Chains A and B, each alone.
Chain A
Amino acid sequence: MAGSPDTHSQRPDTPAAATGASGGPWAIELEKISKSFGPVRANKDIDLNVRRGSIHGIVGENGAGKSTLMSILYGFYTADSGTIKVNGKAHTITDSRHALALGIGMVHQHFMLVDNMTVLDNVVLGAERSALLSRTLDRARAELIKLGKEYSLEVDPDALIENISVGQQQRVEILKALFRGADTLILDEPTGVLTPAEADHLFRVLETLRTEGKTVILITHKLREIMAITDSVSVMRAGEMVKTLPTSETDPEQLAELMVGRRVLLRVEKQPPNVGDVVLEVANLSVTDRQGVARVKNVSLSVRSGEIVGIAGVSGNGQSELLEAISGIIDPSSGTIAIGGVPLDIRGDDGAARARKAGLAHVPEDRHRMGLVTNFEEWENSILGYETYPAYGKGMMLDIAAARAEAQKRIEMFDIRPADIGLQTANFSGGNQQKIVLAREMDRDLKVLIVGQPTRGVDIGAIEFIHKQIIAMRDAGKAVLLVSVELDEIRSLSDRILVMFDGEIVGEADPETASESALGMMMAGIGQTETAQ
């Protein structure tokens, strides 16, 4: 990092310089921060100024680079270039300890707590004053009670983390930062795991913090939160800083537009749908994760043959769990699934096999984690999930020749490059890997196609091809359920759009008529109108 001390701390060209909450000096100034992971540029020349004693929001879609930027400020990653100034002085933040010493604390999206230790132990971890704990603990206990009262963050200091609620755990994270004397607090998607009541409480805490003169940086994708609590807001998109505005001078529509950008809508040629009977029927489906958090709440939906139903939503709102439950990978806590009127039993650890037998094909959201075995040769991945089918050999034996011949046929059909069925799958590009999955799932006799993030991490050239294939499935009379965080994709492919927010379907929209900002607001949990026009 180039640590040249920059003297002019207020630059007139910075939008936030216009008005701050209190008009106070800058607490944090980031200049031209860049960070790459391998060849991926997560942050490109980011400028960001945050006033002391204000709440500053950062919004952006998944992968916009918000978390990376804040991890750099917190010293968890080191920037490739750029300057960081804290309270007007330039620093090279080398690690988290350094950031803490500068008064910067962070509440991570996934809490950094040790489950089987007490609240008190977690608070002092890394901030112990001496080799023996007793005095630190006594002091911390008193401090914790004091801070708890001051900011309404009461937590039992002797409770084990694993025994307290998620909301309480978040309080511990905030207390950890305050105990270390943080005067700038970064919160990364803090309400994602909270109940509405807990979230409201958190906002009151943040307001108290501001009153006490602390600076808060709030990373979120929920525009309601930005409007409700922040003084100023920065919008990030694709690793770049798009704009910084005073919150009072903007509205959710403008922010939604800035977030998703005015990209050229990818036009996909398609005929009007020829819709038939209901094929996939999901009723009252709920999914609870291992921590006991409800991920999917009582979702009912149906997909008819010859239509594409798109589920829009910011990721992390239950879409992944919905797809995995329908395709038999995770067990739902309640609800039923039927294909062509026949109920489907997908429970148990081979549920996905039964779903496939019933004619449900699934292109998973994450091909590396789930859809492919990257160490396998191309043809081996071409039979994943179907390996027991008679087409690939009778009885126990695998008919490699048949599998290879089929893979060869598909490699030509889907124009997979390089056209080498013996190549290790890891050596294909993202788009070609996705085509391997698509070819495997589409090129067979199926009734329902479930597709998650079909073009995530896929090169432009392949996107159009993949979209055409999905349309072709629809035109062939299949029922297609599509999940994507790319709103463009949902709009250009779907015949019907369902919007998912916080585990629920919050609305339905017509892709022809619904405006992007209206959808964006539904995705952000505002204005839960049944039909957005």
Chain B
Amino acid sequence: MDLELILSMANATLRLATPLLLAALAGLYSERSGIFDIGLEGKMLAAAFAAAATAAVTGSAWLGLFAGVAVSIMTTMVQGFASITLKGNQMIAGVAVTMLAAGLTTFLGQTWFGQGGRTPQLSGDARFERIILPYANELSGVPIVGPIYAWVLSGHYILVYIAFLAVPATAFVLYRTRFGLRLRAVGENPKAVDTAGISVTFQRYQAIFITGILAGLSGAYFSIAQGAGFGNEMTAGKGYVALAALIFSKWRPVPVMFTCLLFGFLDALQIRMQSTELPLIGEVPVQAIQALPYVLTVVLLAGFIGRAVGPKAGGVPYVKER
């Protein structure tokens, strides 16, 4: 393979891994606190719609982003109210929120914009622009490092950089702060946290608040950065891929990044591989590559390679009374 192909694949990998990474990190905060979240897809979808709709009306991508995040947080709070305060079934809450988002976005899109559920095409300031890193052009001539800097690392939307900065930030929060310590504890043994004099409920709401923010960024990325407007079901199941990535990386931030890069690469690969033949292997069906993240996750869950054991208190509402 030639250099240009490799560079463009690397670039595409970063681009495609970004929404997965943001969403998987979103899920990490929630699940580490003991709230299983199969509603990531719904929050992303709601955010994607809210961001595009606001950007279309106001002409500002930043206002769009803000609206997307706000709506994602609201959606998360509905789910949280059911799961934490009402101690309801977390799985059902996730399914309901996803379905609600899928229905409402298309419905409101049609009602407000009359374009079959799509929002108007975004242009100019209503959509984020790619950021050219400093001296990208000048350095592109430098062997090896230059092209990587100019063509792989430079020229992405701001959300891409935010996503990758969120990884060390999350690792820091999780392992180096008081908040992170309590977060990890409350997902493993909420009673230990309770007897230490910390409110389990408040800790969990704080966690899912961050989940809302990150899922909102992920959703907004689809409609006001990567895409120029919202379309039906635009997140296309990426929320579940992110969930798979989270499980595959055993709920740890840095492995989450590598898993999302792997899944992003697989995505880039299947786009490029549509009807191309590989040497030796022959033609690999793209569907096999599409299914790979899910298959890998199931295999891991089954304990055939390593073992993915989630936070111990995950999925179980905390009830203090005996």
**Chain A: residues with CB nearer than 8 A to chain B?**
37, 74-76, 95-100, 106, 108, 112-117, 121-122, 124-128, 130-134, 136
A108 to B, closest residue via Cβ:
B195
A112 to B, closest residue via Cβ:
B192
Contact A128 B178 (CB under 8 A): yes
**25 A-B contact pairs sorted by A residue (CB < 8 Å):** A75-B197, A76-B194, A95-B197, A96-B195, A96-B196, A96-B197, A100-B197, A113-B189, A115-B189, A117-B181, A117-B184, A121-B185, A125-B192, A125-B196, A125-B198, A126-B182, A126-B196, A126-B197, A131-B179, A132-B178, A133-B176, A133-B177, A133-B180, A133-B181, A136-B178
Enumerate chain A residues within 8 angstroms of B184, measured Cβ to Cβ.
114, 116-117, 121
A131 to B, closest residue via Cβ:
B178
A101 to B, closest residue via Cβ:
B197
| Complex-state Cα separation, A76 to B182, whole angstroms | 18
Enumerate chain B residues within 8 angstroms of A132, measured Cβ to Cβ.
176-178
A126 to B, closest residue via Cβ:
B196
Q: How many Å from the CB of B274 to the closest CB on chain A?
A: 43
B189 to A, closest residue via Cβ:
A114
Contact B178 A133 (CB under 8 A): yes
A130 in contact with B178 given A95-B197, A100-B197, A117-B184 (CB within 8 Å): yes
Q: How many Å from the CB of A36 to the closest CB on chain B?
A: 12
| Complex-state Cα separation, A132 to B194, whole angstroms | 21
Contact B197 A114 (CB under 8 A): no
Contact A125 B182 (CB under 8 A): yes
A126 in contact with B198 given A131-B179, A133-B177 (CB within 8 Å): yes
User: Of B182, B191, B197, which contacts A98 at CB under 8 A?
Assistant: B197
| Complex-state Cα separation, A444 to B321, whole angstroms | 39
B179 to A, closest residue via Cβ:
A131
Contact A112 B181 (CB under 8 A): no
Enumerate chain B residues within 8 angstroms of A127, measured Cβ to Cβ.
196
Enumerate chain A residues within 8 angstroms of B192, measured Cβ to Cβ.
112-114, 122, 125
Q: How many Å from the CB of B181 to the closest CB on chain A?
A: 6
User: Of B176, B196, B312, B321, which contacts A112 at CB under 8 A?
Assistant: B196
Contact B177 A114 (CB under 8 A): no
Q: How many Å from the CB of A252 to the closest CB on chain B?
A: 31
| Complex-state Cα separation, A74 to B196, whole angstroms | 10
Contact A116 B197 (CB under 8 A): no
| Complex-state Cα separation, A525 to B192, whole angstroms | 31
**Interface of A (DSSP majority class):** loop
Central interface residue in B184, B193, B194, B197, by most chain A CB within 10 Å: B197
**Interface of B (DSSP majority class):** helix
Enumerate chain B residues within 8 angstroms of A75, measured Cβ to Cβ.
197
| Complex-state Cα separation, A281 to B171, whole angstroms | 58
Q: How many Å from the CB of B182 to the closest CB on chain A?
A: 7
- Could you list 18 further interchain pairs (A-B, Cβ under 8 angstroms) beyond the known A97-B196, A125-B193? A76-B195, A95-B197, A96-B197, A112-B192, A112-B195, A113-B192, A114-B184, A114-B185, A114-B189, A116-B184, A121-B185, A125-B181, A125-B196, A126-B193, A132-B178, A133-B176, A133-B181, A136-B178
Contact A97 B177 (CB under 8 A): no
| Complex-state Cα separation, A469 to B194, whole angstroms | 46
Total cross-chain contacts (CB, 8 A): 75
User: Of A74, A100, A116, A128, which contacts B188 at CB under 8 A?
Assistant: A116
Q: How many Å from the CB of A123 to the closest CB on chain B?
A: 10
Enumerate chain B residues within 8 angstroms of A126, measured Cβ to Cβ.
182, 193, 196-198
| Complex-state Cα separation, A348 to B195, whole angstroms | 38
Q: How many Å from the CB of B92 to the closest CB on chain A?
A: 19
Enumerate chain B residues within 8 angstroms of A134, measured Cβ to Cβ.
176
| Complex-state Cα separation, A276 to B26, whole angstroms | 69
B175 to A, closest residue via Cβ:
A133
| Complex-state Cα separation, A120 to B285, whole angstroms | 51
B309 to A, closest residue via Cβ:
A116
Enumerate chain A residues within 8 angstroms of B177, measured Cβ to Cβ.
131-133
Contact A121 B178 (CB under 8 A): no
User: Of A100, A116, A128, which contacts B181 at CB under 8 A?
Assistant: A128
Q: How many Å from the CB of B318 to the closest CB on chain A?
A: 13
| Complex-state Cα separation, A106 to B321, whole angstroms | 18
Bits for B216-258, please: 1 = Cβ < 8 Å to A, else 0: 0000000000000000000000000000000000000000000
B312 to A, closest residue via Cβ:
A115
Q: How many Å from the CB of B185 to the closest CB on chain A?
A: 5
| Complex-state Cα separation, A133 to B191, whole angstroms | 22
Central interface residue in B184, B188, B189, B193, by most chain A CB within 10 Å: B189
Enumerate chain A residues within 8 angstroms of B179, measured Cβ to Cβ.
131
Contact A37 B322 (CB under 8 A): yes
B184 to A, closest residue via Cβ:
A117
Closest 9 interchain pairs by CB?
Answer: A97-B197, A126-B196, A112-B192, A128-B178, A96-B197, A112-B195, A114-B188, A114-B185, A114-B189
Q: How many Å from the CB of A470 to the closest CB on chain B?
A: 30
| Complex-state Cα separation, A115 to B184, whole angstroms | 11
A75 to B, closest residue via Cβ:
B197
Bits for B16-40, please: 1 = Cβ < 8 Å to A, else 0: 0000000000000000000000000
Q: How many Å from the CB of A99 to the closest CB on chain B?
A: 8
Central interface residue in B189, B195, B322, by most chain A CB within 10 Å: B195
| Complex-state Cα separation, A134 to B196, whole angstroms | 20
Enumerate chain B residues within 8 angstroms of A106, measured Cβ to Cβ.
195
| Complex-state Cα separation, A116 to B191, whole angstroms | 15
Bits for B181-218, please: 1 = Cβ < 8 Å to A, else 0: 11011001101111111100000000000000000000
Contact A115 B188 (CB under 8 A): yes
Q: How many Å from the CB of A120 to the closest CB on chain B?
A: 10
Enumerate chain A residues within 8 angstroms of B178, measured Cβ to Cβ.
128, 130-133, 136
Enumerate chain A residues within 8 angstroms of B189, measured Cβ to Cβ.
112-115
Contact A117 B312 (CB under 8 A): no
| Complex-state Cα separation, A95 to B321, whole angstroms | 14
| Complex-state Cα separation, A97 to B192, whole angstroms | 12
Enumerate chain B residues within 8 angstroms of A136, measured Cβ to Cβ.
178
Central interface residue in B181, B198, B312, by most chain A CB within 10 Å: B181
A97 in contact with B198 given A114-B184, A124-B181, A133-B181 (CB within 8 Å): yes
Enumerate chain B residues within 8 angstroms of A96, measured Cβ to Cβ.
194-197
| Complex-state Cα separation, A121 to B198, whole angstroms | 15
Enumerate chain A residues within 8 angstroms of B321, measured Cβ to Cβ.
37
Enumerate chain B residues within 8 angstroms of A133, measured Cβ to Cβ.
176-178, 180-181
Contact A117 B197 (CB under 8 A): no
A116 to B, closest residue via Cβ:
B188
Instruction: Identify which of residues 14-64 in chain B touch chain A, using a CB-to-CB cut-off of 8 Å.
Output: none
B178 to A, closest residue via Cβ:
A128
Enumerate chain A residues within 8 angstroms of B195, measured Cβ to Cβ.
74, 76, 96, 106, 108, 112
Enumerate chain B residues within 8 angstroms of A121, measured Cβ to Cβ.
181, 184-185
| Complex-state Cα separation, A108 to B185, whole angstroms | 17
| Complex-state Cα separation, A251 to B120, whole angstroms | 87
| Complex-state Cα separation, A95 to B191, whole angstroms | 13
Q: How many Å from the CB of B74 to the closest CB on chain A?
A: 27
| Complex-state Cα separation, A104 to B178, whole angstroms | 23
Contact A117 B185 (CB under 8 A): yes
